[in-house]
Structure 1
Amino acid sequence: MLNFTDSNALLTESVDSGLYQNLVAQLVKDFGLANVDIDLPFQVNPKNLKTILHQKIYRLMMERFADYLNLLYIIDVPEKKVKEIKASDVVDISNHVAFLVLQREYQKVWFRQKYA
């Protein structure tokens, strides 16, 4: 139910379950709490969301590493999962981190909807 192998499966499930807009709202909220600007239109489609998130995380890793770490802390991405990433290229690492961010944010909205 909350175990996804990639971002596409996660985003498809969020659309199918009706939680996609909540996922986008949660991303905007947590990025705001971390003082990181992310320009997500309310009606952003899943493919563009994945691309925007990946690019933002890549830029944070390359240019503002302290903000990147703060964002992961605010979102509550497990440090253990970040350390388990087996990529050596920053582009691949940022793609995996983007998936972890989406996974954690979806988990938040899913639990909120299920136990509200």
Structure 2
Amino acid sequence: MLNFTDSNALLSESVASGLYQNLVVQLTKDFGLANIDIDLPFQVNPKNLKTILHQKIYRLMMERFTDYLNLLYIIDVPEKKVKSIQETDVVDISNQVAFLILQREFQKVWFRQKYA
């Protein structure tokens, strides 16, 4: 249920399970906890969410690396998964990290909904 191969599959499942809005709220909350502004309109569609998140992660990696690391810590992305990324291009790495963030955030809202 929580093992996804890419962002598109994860976002499709979040929409199908009715957890998409909760995912957007959770992302906004955790970025806020890390003191990182992210402009996510409440009605953002999944494709735009993926693009906004990818661009934000890329900018953090290139310009504010300490904030990027703090964000990963706050969201609780496993360090082992980040270190296992094999890409060599920063754009590809930021795309993979964005997927890991989406995966962890979806896991949070899924567990909260399942065990509430």
The two structures have a TM-score, normalised by structure 2, of: 1.00
1:7-55 CA deviation, whole Å, 9 max, x = no partner?
0000000000000000000000000000000000000000000000000
C-alpha deviation, 1:83, in angstroms: 0.2
Which amino acid counterpart does residue 27 of structure 2 have in structure 1?
A: L
Describe the SS at the equivalent of 2:10: helix
The answer to whether the aligner puts 1:99 opposite 2:110 as a matched pair is no
Alignment of 1:13-28 (within 5 A): 13-28=13-28
Question: RMSD value over aligned CA atoms?
Answer: 0.1
Matched residue, 2:44: 44
Q: How many residues align?
A: 116
Pairing 1:110–2:110 present: yes
Gaps of 5+ in 2: none
Alignment of 1:27-106 (within 5 A): 27-106=27-106
Gaps of 5+ in 1: none
Distance between the aligned counterparts of 1:108 and 1:96, measured in 2?
19
**Aligned mates of 1:83, 1:63 — CA distance in 2:** 20
- Distance in 2 (CA, whole Å) between partners of 1:113 and 1:41 is 22
Identity %, equivalent residues: 89
